[in-house]
Structure formats: C-alpha cells, structure tokens
Structure 1
Amino acid sequence: MNKKISVSVAITVALIAMTVTFSITMIVAMQIFDNTVTSVNEKQSMYNKLAEIDKYVRANAYNTIDDATLNDYIAYGYMLGINDKNAKYYTEKEYSDLLAVQNGKLLGIGVDLIKDTATGYGRVIRVYSGSPAAELGIEVGSYITRIGETDTKNLTKDGMLTRLRGEDGTTVTITYLTRGTSEEKTVEVTHVGYTTPTVEYQTLNDTYGYVKITQFGSTTASELDYAVNQLTGAGVTALVFDLRDNEGGLLDSANECIDLLVGEGVIAYAEYSDGTREILAESDENKVDLPMICLVNGNTASSAELFAASLRDMAGAKLVGTKTYGKGTIQAAPQRLSDGSAVSVTVARLLTGKEECFDGTGLTVDQEVQLAENTVMYDYALAEDAQVLRAVSVADTLTGVTTMEGSSNAGTQTGTDSSAAGEDGSSAAESTDGETGETGDSAAAEGGDSSADSAA
C-alpha cells in the first residue's frame, strides 16, 4: 500500500513539474514572440515609410535620381540614427581605399598636415625622411594651396589627405608656398613607398627623455621600446611622453606600449551592452622605474587616453596640458557588405585597469597649461612650448631638483588650447611636433609603417 502511494505521489509531482515547466516555457516563448513581432512590425514600418517616400519622390521629383548615391546616403543616414556617434558607413570606394592604404597600395607624398585656421590651407607639420616630398625639398611650415585644380581652402583635412594619395608610380600635382615666401611653386609628385615612424625621441635639458608618440600603429611598441632603451641608456632621469594630437590607433598596440612601461596589473577591460566585462590586456612585473609625465590636449583620444590614464594609475605619471577628448569606446573592424561597402559600430565601452571609463568626460590633467590664444603646438619649438616647459618643471619636482612651489611658475603662458578633435586646426592622426621634431631622433630603426593611414 505504501509503495502504491509513493508511486502515485511521484506521478503527481512529475505532472505538476511538467505543468509548471510547460507554463514557464510558454510564458518565455510568448515574450520572445511578442518581442519578435514588435521588432518585425517596427522594421516593416521603417521599410514601409522608406518605400512611401521613394514612391512619392520618384513620381514628383524634377531632378534625376542616382540610385547608387541614394543608397549610400540611406546607409549614411541609418548609421547616423543608431545613437552611436562612432558608427561609420564606408562606400564601396571608401572601403576599398581604406584597405589599399592599410595594405600599402595607396601611398601619400610623405607629409602630415593640419587645416590651418588662419589661411585655410593645408599646413605641413611633418615631412618624412626619404619620401617624395622630402626629395622635392618641401619643408615643414609650407602651405599646400592646391591639389590638382582644387583649392585646399575648399577641402577638409581628410579631403586633402585623400587627394594626395595614389598608387605606386602614379603622380599628383600640388601647388605650395614655402614658409616666409609669397611665391607659389607647382610640382608633380610621384608616389613611392617610404617609412612613417610613429615615435620620435630626444633629450630635454640633457636630463629628461622626450618621446613623441603620434599614433599607435603596428610598429609603435617596437619603436617605443627602442626609444626608451636609448634614452635610459643615456642616463635620463625622467620620461616625458607627448600624446598631444594623438587620436589613438590600434588598441592592441597601445596595450603593448603600456606593458613596456608599467608594473603588473590589469591594463584595460571591455564592457559590453549586457554589463559583462572582459579583461583586454594585462601587464607583467617588468617596468621602467623612472618618473613619467604625459603631455595631453583636447585632441588626445581613445588609445592615447588609455595610455595616459594607465601610466597615471599604474606608474604614478603626471598629466600636463589640457583635458583630453573623451573617446572611451571600442569599434568593431569594418564589416564588408555584399555590394563592397562596409559598416563599423561600437561594440563595447573601454575601461581602464581601475574599471573607470573616460568616454564623454575625458581625462583631467594634474597641471593645466593652455597655449596662447589662436596658436597650436606646431607654432612652437620645444624650448618655447609652455606645456613642454611645465612638463620639465614637473619632472624637476618628481626627481627632487626643485619644489612644487618653484615649478608652479614655469610655463605660465595662457590662452586657448587647440581642442575638440576633428575641428579645423586639429592634426592628422599621425601628425607630429613638426618644426621641433626635426631635431630629434626617430625610432624607426626598429620599425615603421610603410605608409600611415593618415599620412599624405
């Protein structure tokens, strides 16, 4: 009898469990179904609206519609409307050119440019050794006034860079003004390969090491390692890293550079939309045991901000200059579409090893120093640059040469710093310190990209 009761109870419990499971499954399934229906309905509504607009326009528009251009602008609009300021759509040509630049098939003429706010022309802030521009005698401080038949006043910085590129052996005609003269020169430049180092270094006051990192590329870590070894071997007592106008680059490269300098710890996390976090990079126990200072400004962004934040958090570095741009997100590599175009979207937030995010806020500096009004860093030699002078004073304090009170009076030049990446006056992603950079050494002996993405 007891056995029969036990079997009955077991059957009853099993039936109840099955019923509960079925009910829960149905509830979840209905929720998924409702969400799916809502999503389908929303998409159908979007497609219907677009079809309605298209039908009306084609029936009434006076001008002829170019369907290829229309499709590109629809795609641009979609990416602009997804609440992702870093999302990007590439037309078939833009994506093809991007790949060609990355693969070294599209070459510049060997200069870095900014859009000069005073003249509207393209101002040369760096000339790469061994490049076509260097061979023709184009100098830092020159102004490119025309590319082909196009006045550069009518072009953005990116527009100028694009027009200056071409395949190996092809030519481009440019017109330029040498600094201090009023006579324009027109030359035909032939595209050939050249080395574009991303790290330059020299000593300051024969005491401190100055390292300019223009962007984080595929060879930056090896270049930085070489530069730091050369400087420490020469007996410098502190390191100043100039990240001004460094708009980022490869995140993996920045992590490798950070690992070279700081001790053991987590460098960066990725935080995804569901709240989960993943460690992106960690540093080992090896480090450079010297005081460090990072020079930053409003164009210091993304991977460069992570570099500065990590050196401050993990090595006690001081930040000098002005507040950084505030781009702390991670974008996926461009996804190629069936017609040859491509899209890229933000996939995660970038967090420092302290699990802090600087996206939208930027990094505040320890010593704020602004340049004189209507000037940019390229207007100054290192010995005259107020931000560099303050960095030297901070290095004096960190190494015990002087007190903080003594250093606070150095580099007091004030005004408005060049800020907000992407505005006129901002540098190309690989622009360096132009006129002052010629006095330093390049770390390209240990590597350098054959043609940088943002070099012209």
Structure 2
Amino acid sequence: MSRKVSLSVAVTVTLIAMAVTFSITMVLSMNMFNNTVTSVKNRERMYNKLSEIDRYVRANEYFEINEDTLNDTIASGYMLGISDKYARYYSAQAYNELVGTQSGRLMGIGVSVVKDTSSGYARIIRVYSNSPAEDLGFEAGGFITSIGETSVKNLADTSAIQSALLGEEGSVVTIQYLTPSREEVTQDVTRANYTVGTVFGQMIGDSCAYICIDDFSTSTGTEFRNTVDSLRSQGATCFVFDLRNNAGSNLTSALIAADYCVPSGLMAQGQYKDGTVEDLRVSDDTEITQPMVCIVNSGTAGGAELFANTLRKMGGATLVGTTTAGKGVVLSDPQSLSDGSAVVITRGLILDNEGQNWNGTGLTPDIEAALSADEASSYYDFTVDTDPQISRAVSAAQALTGQ
C-alpha cells in the first residue's frame, strides 16, 4: 500500500514539475518571441524609412551623390543616434590611419598641434625630439599655415590637421610655417619615424617635481616610472601631475601609472551590461609617499580621470583646477567592418575602489583654480613658471610638505 502511495506521490510531483517547467519555458519563449518581433519591426521601420528617403532623393536631387560619403555619413549618423556619446564611427580612411599610426606604418613630421581659434592656423604646442620638425628648426609657439596645397584654415579641427600631417615613411610634404617671431618659412619635410613621448618632467625650485602627462598610451607607464624615479633622485619632496586636456586614451596604461603611486589594493572595476563586475587592476605595495597634487580641467577625461581619482582615493592626492569631463566608461576595441571602416561603443562603466562612478558628472577638484577669460586665451603662451594653475598646484603641494 505504501509503495502505491509513494508511486502516486512521485508521479504527481513529476507532473507538477513538468507543468512548472513547461510554464516557465512558455513564458521565456513568449518573451523572446516578443523581443524578436519588436526588434524585427524596429529594423523594418528603420530600413523602410531610409529606403523611402533614398528613393525620393535619387529621383529628385539636382547635385551628384557621392556614394562613399553617403554611406559614411549614414553610419556616422547611426552611431550618433544610439544615445552613446562616446560611440564613434571610423571611415575606412580614418581607421586605416589609426591602425597605421599605432603600428608605426604612418608617420608624421614630429609636432603636436591644436587648431588656433583666432587665426585658424595650427599652433605648434610641442616639437618631439629626434623628429624631422626638430631637425628643421620648428619651434613650439609657431604656426603651420598650409600642408601641401591645403590651407590649414580650410581644415575643420585639430583632428583634421593631424590627419593631413600623416603619411607613409619617406614621403615628402611641403609645410608653410610661421616662426614664433612671425617669420614666414616654407619647408619640404620628409616624414619619418620618431618617438612620441607622453610624459615630460622637471623640477620646480629645489623640491617640487612637476610631471606633465599629455596622454595615456602603451608607453606611458614606463615613461612615467622613469620620470618619477629621475625626479626622486633629484630630491623631490612633492609631486604635481598635470593632466589638463589629457584625453586618457588607454585605461590600462593609466592604471599602470597610477599603480606606481598608490599602496596595494583594488584600484578599479568594470561594470557591464549583463551585471557582471570585473577587477580592472589590483595595485602592488609600491607607492609614492610624498604629497601628490593633480591638475585637472574639463579636458581631463577617461584614463586621465581614472588616474586622478585613483590617486585621490588611494593615495590622498589633492585635485586642483576645474571639474573634469565625466567620461567614466570602458570602451570596446574598434570593431572592424567588411569595407575597412570600424566602430567603437561603450561596453561598461568604470567603478573606483569604493564602487563609485563619475560618468556624466566628472571629478570636482579639492581646490578650485579656474583660469580667467584672459588667462584662458593665453593658455598656450604660458610656461611652467608663468602658468597660474601650475603655481596654485605647486603651492598646494608644498603646503602639504610643511613648506
């Protein structure tokens, strides 16, 4: 009798389990189906709209359509429309330049430039050592007025100017140049390989080490360590790290540099769409024990913000300047497409060692030190000795040492 009861119970339990499993499966399947149908409908609506526009334009447009430009613009517009302000589309040419520069195939003339808003020319802000530009006497403070047959005034921005300066190793480009004393010079420059440094350091006075980090690239970690060690050997009792207008291109490199400054512990994590969280880096016990100050501004972004935030949270660093860009995200590697173009999207958020994220808000400095309108217009005329934000940061660092 008990066997029959046990058998009946077992059958009942099995049937219930099957019913529950079936119900759950049906619910999941319906959700998947609904999501798929919604996705298909959305895509159909998008394609239909583009097709409708395309039919009208091709039937009525007076001017000739450049198909490559049209396709690149559609792809760029798609990336602009996905509510990810960090997403980017690279045309085949732009992506080829990016890969070529990273691999060393494409060369420049050896200058770092910005588009000067008042003149429209390319202002030279740095000339790299052992480069063609240095060999020909180009100087920071000068202006490039034309590249080949193209007037720099006709180039939209700094990125377009930098692109125009690139070319294959050994290729020659004619540069028209205004010296800092405004003498007009024309030079035929042969593009060549040279080392682009990202870290530049010097002593201010007898005790304060000033280190400017232009960007975070694959070589920055090693450059940073060597520069810190060199200035330590010169008697540095405090450090000022200048991160203004540092776009922070490489998060890993930023963490490697920060690791040399802070004590052991979790430095940062990545939080992704599926809810997973992974450690981005755990630091060792090597650290800078002298007071540290970071100079930041609205151009301090990405890895540069990560560096500054890590030094403040883990190393007690003071931030001087203005609120940073608020780019606290993990970006994907470029996803290459069939026609040679590529896209980059946001993969996740950066969390600091306390689980906090600054994306969209930026880092607020401990000591506000904004430039006046007149000072801002003279930003690239300042030297290390005359820059008011550097002076404010050095004073803060020295105060922390008791000087």
In the alignment, the residues of structure 1 paired with residue 325 and residue 4 of structure 2 have an alpha-carbon distance, to the nearest angstrom, of 76
Cross-structure match for 1:251: 251
Post-superposition offset of 1:276: 2.9
Q: Which runs of 5+ in 1 are unaligned?
A: 402-456
Post-superposition offset of 1:97: 1.4
Cross-structure match for 2:398: 396
Cross-structure match for 2:168: 167
In the alignment, the residues of structure 1 paired with residue 64 and residue 386 of structure 2 have an alpha-carbon distance, to the nearest angstrom, of 57
1:294-328 deviation per Cα after TM superposition (whole angstroms, max 9, x unaligned): 11111111100110111011111111111111111
How do 1:10-409 residues align onto structure 2 when only pairs under 5 Å count? Answer: 10-155=10-155, 156-181=157-182, 183-374=183-374, 375-401=377-403
Paired residues of 2:198 and 2:213 also in contact (CA < 8 A): yes
1:190-248 deviation per Cα after TM superposition (whole angstroms, max 9, x unaligned): 00111111111111111111111111111111111111111112221111111111111
1:106-144 deviation per Cα after TM superposition (whole angstroms, max 9, x unaligned): 111011111222222111111111111111111111011
Q: Percent identity?
A: 51
In the alignment, the residues of structure 2 paired with residue 3 and residue 354 of structure 1 have an alpha-carbon distance, to the nearest angstrom, of 59
1:380-414 deviation per Cα after TM superposition (whole angstroms, max 9, x unaligned): 1222111111112112210111xxxxxxxxxxxxx
Question: Secondary structure at 1:383's aligned position in 2?
Answer: coil
What amino acid is aligned across from residue 133 of structure 1 in structure 2?
A: A
Paired residues of 2:206 and 2:235 also in contact (CA < 8 A): no
Distance 1:131 1:117, change over 3 A: same
Paired residues of 2:266 and 2:282 also in contact (CA < 8 A): yes
Paired residues of 2:90 and 2:341 also in contact (CA < 8 A): yes
Distance 1:67 1:117, change over 3 A: closer
Question: Secondary structure at 1:72's aligned position in 2?
Answer: helix
Question: Secondary structure at 1:139's aligned position in 2?
Answer: coil
What amino acid is aligned across from residue 48 of structure 1 in structure 2?
A: N
What amino acid is aligned across from residue 387 of structure 2 in structure 1?
A: D
Question: Secondary structure at 2:385's aligned position in 1?
Answer: helix
Cross-structure match for 1:451: none
In the alignment, the residues of structure 2 paired with residue 277 and residue 59 of structure 1 have an alpha-carbon distance, to the nearest angstrom, of 52
Post-superposition offset of 1:93: 1.4
In the alignment, the residues of structure 1 paired with residue 19 and residue 359 of structure 2 have an alpha-carbon distance, to the nearest angstrom, of 49
Question: Secondary structure at 2:373's aligned position in 1?
Answer: coil
In the alignment, the residues of structure 2 paired with residue 239 and residue 139 of structure 1 have an alpha-carbon distance, to the nearest angstrom, of 28
Aligned residue pairs, count: 400
TM-score, length-normalised on structure 1? Answer: 0.85
Paired residues of 2:175 and 2:188 also in contact (CA < 8 A): yes
In the alignment, the residues of structure 2 paired with residue 18 and residue 372 of structure 1 have an alpha-carbon distance, to the nearest angstrom, of 73
Post-superposition offset of 1:376: 4.3
In the alignment, the residues of structure 1 paired with residue 362 and residue 369 of structure 2 have an alpha-carbon distance, to the nearest angstrom, of 16
Question: Secondary structure at 1:202's aligned position in 2?
Answer: strand
Cross-structure match for 1:415: none
What amino acid is aligned across from residue 360 of structure 2 in structure 1?
A: G
| Moved beyond 4 Å, runs of 4+ | none
In the alignment, the residues of structure 1 paired with residue 107 and residue 162 of structure 2 have an alpha-carbon distance, to the nearest angstrom, of 10
Question: Secondary structure at 1:384's aligned position in 2?
Answer: coil
Q: Which fold has the larger relative contact order, with Cα–Cα distance below 8 Å and residues 6 or more apart in sequence?
A: 1
Post-superposition offset of 1:360: 1.3
How do 1:412-423 residues align onto structure 2 when only pairs under 5 Å count? Answer: none
In the alignment, the residues of structure 2 paired with residue 89 and residue 123 of structure 1 have an alpha-carbon distance, to the nearest angstrom, of 27
TM-score, length-normalised on structure 2? Answer: 0.96
Q: Which runs of 5+ in 2 are unaligned?
A: none
What amino acid is aligned across from residue 280 of structure 1 in structure 2?
A: L
Question: Secondary structure at 2:123's aligned position in 1?
Answer: strand
In the alignment, the residues of structure 1 paired with residue 72 and residue 114 of structure 2 have an alpha-carbon distance, to the nearest angstrom, of 28
How do 1:436-455 residues align onto structure 2 when only pairs under 5 Å count? Answer: none
Post-superposition offset of 1:9: 2.2
